[in-house]
A and B are shown apart, each in its own frame.
Chain A
């Protein structure tokens, strides 16, 4: 079985500050990891994904995440927050060959001017 833990249901940052959203996973097989963003009353948009290869992955909107196997983590970062980044972010895990995602509970990112 797989699981995802997102630390912090809410994260508040000032515009221009570093964004760090934490994600830890549990998986008995090599994981495939994803970050999605959800704006109010909308579906999910893929930010970035890790499957194999380089452990630092870059996504859209300036976000990036680093897969750390030893820490079973896949934290999402952005050097400088923008007001438009305010949304809910979900970390998800699956296994090679499977399409079913297991989601974390989500982290709401609040950006203040």
Chain B
């Protein structure tokens, strides 16, 4: 069964509004979670690494003020897309590592964001 739950699975919002996406590890504690963005017919691009109890580490080119990440507990990380624009429309996927280093990452089922 799924070990990483992502919610919502899809969301439509208007330009200028903010959208929050949740990523939960269901039966394990994840000190580190990852947020990816996937454009149509393209690969996954790592946006940021979410660390429990500390600031997220953003990849180059990712606006930290636009994509707010909060990892408030060992089982929950949230990604908030602030002041969304149509170009933010994409498929966002989170992942979490179960266990120590080099354990396979478990992925959520993704969130399809459409900004109108």
Contact = CB atoms under 8 A, between A and B. Distances in A.
A94 B95 CA distance: 15
A63 interface: no
Given A43-B93, A51-B102, A99 B107 contact: no
Nearest to A95: B102
A100 B46 contact: yes
Interface stretch (A66-74, A75-83, A102-110): A102-110
Given A43-B6, A43-B108, A103 B102 contact: no
Interface in A12-61: 32, 34, 36, 41-46, 49, 51
Contact of B44 (A46, A90, A97, A98): A90
Interface string B91-116: 10101010001101111111010000
Secondary structure of the A side of the interface?
loop
Nearest to B101: A97
A86 interface: no
B101 A100 contact: no
Interface residues of B, number: 26
Contacts of A99: 32, 34, 97, 101-102, 105
A105 B42 contact: yes
B110 A103 contact: no
B49 interface: yes
Interface of B: 4, 6, 9-10, 32, 34, 41-44, 46, 49, 91, 93, 95, 97, 101-102, 104-110, 112
29 contacts: A9-B41, A32-B102, A41-B9, A41-B112, A42-B109, A43-B95, A43-B107, A43-B108, A43-B110, A44-B44, A44-B93, A44-B95, A44-B107, A46-B104, A46-B105, A51-B102, A90-B44, A94-B102, A96-B101, A96-B102, A97-B102, A99-B32, A99-B34, A99-B102, A100-B34, A101-B105, A103-B43, A104-B43, A106-B42
Interface of A: 9, 32, 34, 36, 41-46, 49, 51, 90, 94, 96-101, 103-106
